[in-house]
Structure 1
Amino acid sequence: MNSLRPELLELTPQALTALSNAGFVKRSLKELENGNVPEISHENDALIATFSDGVRTQLANGQALKEAQCSCGANGMCRHRVMLVLSYQRLCATTQSTEKEEEWDPAIWLEELATLPDATRKRAQALVAKGITIELFCAPGEIPSARLPMSDVRFYSRSSIRFARCDCIEGTLCEHVVLAVQAFVEAKAQQAEFNHLIWQMRSEHVTSSDDPFASEEGNACRQYVQQLSQTLWLGGISQPLIHYEAAFNRALQAAETCNWRWVSESLRQLRASVDAFHARASHYNAGECLHQLAALNSRLNCAQEMARRDSIGEVPPVPWRTVVGSGIAGEAKLDHLRLVSLGMRCWQDIEHYGLRIWFTDPDTGSILHLSRSWPRSEQENSPAATRRLFSFQAGALAGGQIVSQAAKRSADGELLLATRNRLSSVVPLSPDAWQMLSAPLRQPGIVALREYLRQRPPACIRPLNQVDNLFILPVAECISLGWDSSRQTLDAQVISGEGEDNVLTLSLPASASAPYAVERMAALLQQTDDPVCLVSGFVSFVEGQLTLEPRVMMTKTRAWALDAETTPVAPLPSASVLPVPSTAHQLLIRCQALLIQLLHNGWRYQEQSAIGQA
């Protein structure tokens, strides 16, 4: 029996959840525990499960789970298909010993992939011609996976390609699966054993000696970006928009002509920050704007260096096409999505107010966001957290899990849902939902997070398809809590994870668009009957401290989306809990403040004073 369908033995509950849904898996496990075990047989290379109520499910050799035939009459996936796999696994576990895991060889699938429709293979080769790069993960004991610029592929079975899942609209046996297999085969030929690798696909159109700025378009893009940077530094972003509007447009048009997605997205992010500054938006962050401008120029400089190393036969840490995002599509259609909320941020400016909710797909680990805005005149009667999105209140979405059909994802990670694409269900967020998530999103503690941040590449070469400073951390104990009225910020220090120096700083600034968020945070950290055990939020360095700005706080019974709080909670404890920065950090803080001052007001108008302060 074990040799008949070995690929089914590899399907973990997590894999079955990804191939069907969590409800089917939970119900199937419960029914099996209650004794509703089907009779397993096989005939003509097909595995058959016969249930006590007469339902008969048949899974032929070479079929995917959703292709199985079932007499229950359900369209698509059903619990009987899941129970067939689980029952078969239990039967094999009792009749045969577990064989030692063999080394994975994806090359066995090349012959089968060659029989796919011509259209699928042509789409795959078109992506190869653009010089696509694929991030490969193949750690022992973990599911092999491939992260493409706009799709994620996971190989839930090392024996059958039919159980590979992609989060694109096709779901399986698509061009992304083809490319993932090809990348693994090529990478293993060069380096037999690896846990993590970035692999660039090459064709006759992509040579190792090409230069991103050798073409007229590439050189023009670099020049226009440099001109924009010089304009902003000399005049400052506080100057009227008309002074740099043309420079932004020239640089953006040049980046789009080159089809360098991360360069164009960098320009859009920078422009959004500049617009937020002029609109006096609550979510404007001066340090982030400074970082965006610096990273924009650094991205092009890094691309030049990666190309230079490649041209002399040296393997670059990251291919230059990955640095600039060459050939990445602006949108991608997604398959059936199950999303878990990571939190919400409300904002307002002089004309609009709105919100952004972040979700993660537990099957792939990718992060998406949903954004909406409305005229400021409607805010008093309809606060952002109470607005309805697709018939559900925003606060419920921020503290829940959702299922969506036929969605799209933009290049910057935005979840695009048309009005007709209703969310089919929303259930409250639970600690179990977050426990299913893995690294790097969910970290075991602040010590592990520091190490991860030290080892990852610089921001100027990382892709911009999703936020990469959003994490989930454990909370064991709150050791100090206080409201700093001078900074209008609630600070706390908590124990997070094991090891030395495991104190995590939580800081949440007050916001007029979410006035009771700080009160809810203070109340949660002080309660003892249902203490906070997990927290999600954005990580940054504040006055030399690795600091997390909380978005959701999870107790043992429920999740609290802080910005969804719409009523007063409790008074704030007044205290200063943050340590005094060291002399070195104080100098760095002054340096950053001076750079921000120059960025706001321009070098041209404060050259002498800036030199004196420096």
Structure 2
Amino acid sequence: MTRRDLLALTTEALISLANRGLVKRAAKDLDAGVVPEVTLDADGTVHARFPDGVATALPVGAGLDAARCTCASASICRHRIGLVLAYQRQTRTGTAEEAAQADESAAGRSGPPPEPADAESGDPPVAEGRGVRSRPPETSAEARAAGSASAGAAGAEAAAAVRAGAGSVMTGAAATTGAAPASPPWSPGDVDDEALREVVGARAMTTARRLYKAGYPARVCRAGGADAVPRVELSSCTVRFLVPGELAYAHTDAGGASRGEFVVLAVWAFRAADEHGLTGDDVRLDVGGDVTDTATSGIEPALPSADQLIVDGVMHAGPTFVAELRRTAAILAGRELHWPAAAVIELAEQLTAYAERSAHHRASRVAELLVELHARHRAVVNAGASPRSRVLGTGEPARTALRRVRLTSLGARITGTAAERTVEVFLAHVDSGTVLVLRRRYATTGEGRPTGHELAARRIAGTSLRSLAAADIVSESASRTAGRLLQITDGRVARTTVLPLGTAWERLPEPLLVTDFAAAALARAELPPRLIRPRVEAEDVHVIRAAAVVDVGYHPGDQRLDAVIADAAGDTMTVSARHRAAAPGALDALAEALHRHDGESLLLSGLLSRDRGRLVLDPIAVLSGQTLLVPDLAPGIGDAALAAARDERATPLDSALETALSLLAEAAHRGVRHPSPGMHRRVRESAHELRRVGLRTAAALTEAFAATLETEDLSSRAEAWLAAQLQLLVTAESR
């Protein structure tokens, strides 16, 4: 027999199960001649005895963490990795010799005939005299090793070739004469619940059923594209199926006893996608749950407050109204409607900022938040294309402990108010292709309002912020929330290692790493409107590879630095950063780094968005050659003389949209009950301009709002304002 599960383990799969260092060490030992004696038992267990006396055994149906090893390590060790690599090499050697013998026989040359295939298994025999004993008869356990699901065996057969000297498996279809047509790709959804129970146990199945009954969101990614293996992104972790038909090798970044239940949830997510015909490479869906009431969203407690604010205006909202908003947010959070609750909290913060005359207040942002609440409500009750969980933020567990994870820092962002400073370190989890956020808040006291440069020396997880923002991090004491917030326990610093960043950004997977601006723009255009997307800032963080810096300029009126970068095809993107008091030296440092670019590899991390038909990156860090700059941590007070930006006249379309949005934001600020003198005329003129540039729907809705200003029906005014503002926001984002 052949242990196809071991042959199917690629180098990247082994790195996911262990770490890169162990895999390299095990391969190096084999290359140096430190080769174990590998034997197979009748039940399919593979044994390896190393020259130093260490013995390792890997039973059928068990993952590497269940292997037995006599060394001192309590977890996956180099001996277990060495067993897999040695088995792969020796099996390949035996197969190669048989193929050579077959070639000689076919050519009529003298020599011994090729050894026949095993009569029971149909597999080529393993060569004797190379540390591998002859194959025992096939058993039921061995059949499971070939794949418990119907398509599992076909998928495992494909992973057969091993690169000599590297210990890597090259996956692909086997080249056989007269081969049958390729089988459909294996789906984890093919695994039945009985097979699941055998792997994860009854307790994990019970917990998973409880979570299934409550319902949960999932992103199902089939093999191919950026990842060679199927995976499922759950709210709190990612599950990757490294070997077709072998759940023992399912890998998740969740640690502890919760691993099994997440594997089950991932299998059920694939099963639900298969049953609903969602066979695309990347689909999102809600799994389980019992949502029979589609006439309500749960956001209803917040809608009257939003409507009242539209009617009476921010100018007339007092502390009592803000307190009511906070109570409403608590109600929504209690219902696990996390995204609407966050919108209500932000709305309360905007009203507080206005009362305190803080620069944090923006009338345009208040208008967006008012529309967001209604947009999320309507997207649910009208059965929109976005899953309910994506719109409302339901099914979000509080916190999930992670097993050993490797994270690549993408830089840090410093924000703040008069009362506190907020530090956010963005970290890419390479295995899952997601970005997590490590957040710390520091209260400001007296006149002490530290800048980002001063905060850079603060220690987080046992190391300075400056180091953490430019490092590779390996941690066994981390946990994450569904909102992608990461926590590293400071009390267990010994289990967190901070390493140099090196070239880690170059190895980031797509679409986290963006190299084609046109493809990125198309992908952004296909997203749902921002008003109903999840409120997870890290979802928009990407690393951009730029081939050239076309232009850099400063807008003094907006205190904004804009740069135009281009990819290898010449498509462009705008890098746009605004001055913040918490990071006064950021713009100067960013401008210098972009001006200094001399053709070396240029990578920028940041929040990617689509605005007015163009890609815009709000930068977090810049990697030019081997030099990483985190602008928010840079020294300086912002006194450098920056070159002025070119005076770019807005297009008629941009002007019409911006004027209309500004007018409607003003109307909400004052309240539609209290329109300013001339508001009716200005809104009608704005509608005329919208129609002139071809935005007929937006023009009609804006005109309808203007018409309500001539009536005393406040409810109609509020409804017309909502319809017009919603259309304008979606148009501005998607055009």
Same fold (TM over 0.5): yes
Q: Does residue 120 of structure 1 match 2:204?
A: yes
The one-letter code sitting in structure 1 at the alignment partner of 2:565 is V
Structure-1 residue corresponding to 2:112: none
Structure-2 residue corresponding to 1:505: 574
Distance 1:238 1:398 in 2: 41
Shift in CA distance, 420/588, structure 1 to aligned 2, threshold 3 Å: same
Distance 2:333 2:597 in 1: 54
Matching of residues 138-149 of structure 1 within 5 Å: 138-140=222-224, 142-149=228-235
Distance 1:192 1:590 in 2: 42
Shift in CA distance, 183/244, structure 1 to aligned 2, threshold 3 Å: same
Name the SS for the 1:7 alignment partner: helix
Distance 2:663 2:587 in 1: 30
The one-letter code sitting in structure 1 at the alignment partner of 2:625 is K
Deviates more, 1:91-100 or 1:477-486: 91-100
1:104 to 163, 186, 209: 186
Deviates more, 1:355-364 or 1:170-179: 170-179
Count matched residues. Answer: 591
Deviates more, 1:443-452 or 1:539-548: 539-548
Distance 1:550 1:471 in 2: 10
**Contact kept in structure 2, 1:132 and 1:322, CA below 8 Å:** no
Shift in CA distance, 516/321, structure 1 to aligned 2, threshold 3 Å: closer
Distance 1:118 1:558 in 2: 52
Structure-1 residue corresponding to 2:457: 386
**Contact kept in structure 2, 1:303 and 1:321, CA below 8 Å:** no
Name the SS for the 1:231 alignment partner: helix
Distance 1:26 1:279 in 2: 58
Structure-2 residue corresponding to 1:133: 217
Name the SS for the 2:515 alignment partner: coil
Distance 1:282 1:48 in 2: 68
Shift in CA distance, 290/383, structure 1 to aligned 2, threshold 3 Å: farther
Structure-2 residue corresponding to 1:67: 66
Structure-1 residue corresponding to 2:49: 50
**Contact kept in structure 2, 1:446 and 1:497, CA below 8 Å:** no
Structure-1 residue corresponding to 2:329: 252
Distance 2:361 2:13 in 1: 41
**Contact kept in structure 2, 1:482 and 1:572, CA below 8 Å:** no
Matching of residues 513-532 of structure 1 within 5 Å: 513-528=582-597, 531-532=600-601
**Contact kept in structure 1, 2:215 and 2:287, CA below 8 Å:** yes
Structure-2 residue corresponding to 1:309: none
Q: Does residue 301 of structure 1 match 2:301?
A: no
Name the SS for the 1:28 alignment partner: helix
1:438 to 509, 513, 525: 509
2:266 to 152, 164, 180: 180
Residues 69-115 of structure 1: CA deviation (Å, up to 9, x unaligned): 22331121222222332333334444446454753143245322133
Structure-1 residue corresponding to 2:89: 90
Q: Does residue 411 of structure 1 match 2:477?
A: no
Residues 158-190 of structure 1: CA deviation (Å, up to 9, x unaligned): 131011122223377511211221232343244
**Contact kept in structure 1, 2:326 and 2:345, CA below 8 Å:** no
**Contact kept in structure 2, 1:265 and 1:412, CA below 8 Å:** no
Deviates more, 1:107-116 or 1:471-480: 107-116
Shift in CA distance, 342/591, structure 1 to aligned 2, threshold 3 Å: farther
Matching of residues 199-598 of structure 1 within 5 Å: 199-202=285-288, 206=290, 209-211=292-294, 213=296, 221-237=298-314, 242-275=319-352, 289-306=366-383, 317-377=385-445, 378-380=448-450, 383-422=454-493, 424-431=496-503, 433-465=504-536, 467-498=538-569, 502-528=571-597, 531-541=600-610, 545-567=614-636, 571-577=640-646, 579-598=648-667
Matching of residues 4-19 of structure 1 within 5 Å: 4-19=2-17
Distance 1:613 1:491 in 2: 31
**Contact kept in structure 2, 1:533 and 1:554, CA below 8 Å:** yes
Distance 1:548 1:290 in 2: 23
**Percentage of identical aligned residues:** 26
Shift in CA distance, 291/10, structure 1 to aligned 2, threshold 3 Å: farther
**Contact kept in structure 2, 1:399 and 1:428, CA below 8 Å:** yes
Distance 1:260 1:188 in 2: 28
**Contact kept in structure 1, 2:410 and 2:620, CA below 8 Å:** yes
Distance 1:283 1:47 in 2: 64
Distance 1:201 1:319 in 2: 10
Shift in CA distance, 570/87, structure 1 to aligned 2, threshold 3 Å: farther
The one-letter code sitting in structure 1 at the alignment partner of 2:417 is D
**Contact kept in structure 1, 2:552 and 2:563, CA below 8 Å:** yes
Shift in CA distance, 173/241, structure 1 to aligned 2, threshold 3 Å: same
Shift in CA distance, 228/337, structure 1 to aligned 2, threshold 3 Å: farther
Specify which structure has the bigger relative contact order, considering alpha-carbon pairs within 8 angstroms and separated by 6 or more residues: 1
Structure-2 residue corresponding to 1:156: 242
Residues 502-558 of structure 1: CA deviation (Å, up to 9, x unaligned): 111112222222222222222222225673521111123556542211111112324
Distance 1:279 1:34 in 2: 70
Name the SS for the 1:318 alignment partner: coil
The one-letter code sitting in structure 2 at the alignment partner of 1:521 is L
Structure (1 or 2) with the larger CA radius of gyration:
2
Structure-2 residue corresponding to 1:311: none
Residues 343-362 of structure 1: CA deviation (Å, up to 9, x unaligned): 21112212222311111211
Name the SS for the 1:463 alignment partner: coil
Deviates more, 1:422-431 or 1:270-279: 270-279
The one-letter code sitting in structure 2 at the alignment partner of 1:195 is D
Name the SS for the 1:563 alignment partner: helix
Shift in CA distance, 584/257, structure 1 to aligned 2, threshold 3 Å: same
**Contact kept in structure 1, 2:303 and 2:373, CA below 8 Å:** no
Shift in CA distance, 522/588, structure 1 to aligned 2, threshold 3 Å: same
Name the SS for the 1:425 alignment partner: strand
Distance 2:605 2:257 in 1: 29
**Contact kept in structure 1, 2:213 and 2:288, CA below 8 Å:** yes
Name the SS for the 2:400 alignment partner: strand
Give the unaligned 5+ runs of structure 2: 96-159, 162-172, 175-181, 684-735
CA drift at 1:252: 2.0
Name the SS for the 1:581 alignment partner: coil
Name the SS for the 1:538 alignment partner: strand
1:166 to 252, 275, 282: 252
Shift in CA distance, 610/532, structure 1 to aligned 2, threshold 3 Å: farther
Distance 1:514 1:183 in 2: 43
Name the SS for the 2:87 alignment partner: helix
**Contact kept in structure 2, 1:57 and 1:80, CA below 8 Å:** yes
The one-letter code sitting in structure 2 at the alignment partner of 1:379 is R
Structure-2 residue corresponding to 1:310: none
Shift in CA distance, 351/13, structure 1 to aligned 2, threshold 3 Å: same
Distance 2:469 2:213 in 1: 40
CA drift at 1:54: 3.2
CA drift at 1:488: 1.8
**Contact kept in structure 2, 1:164 and 1:172, CA below 8 Å:** no
CA drift at 1:197: 2.9
Deviates more, 1:117-126 or 1:51-60: 51-60
**Contact kept in structure 1, 2:326 and 2:348, CA below 8 Å:** no
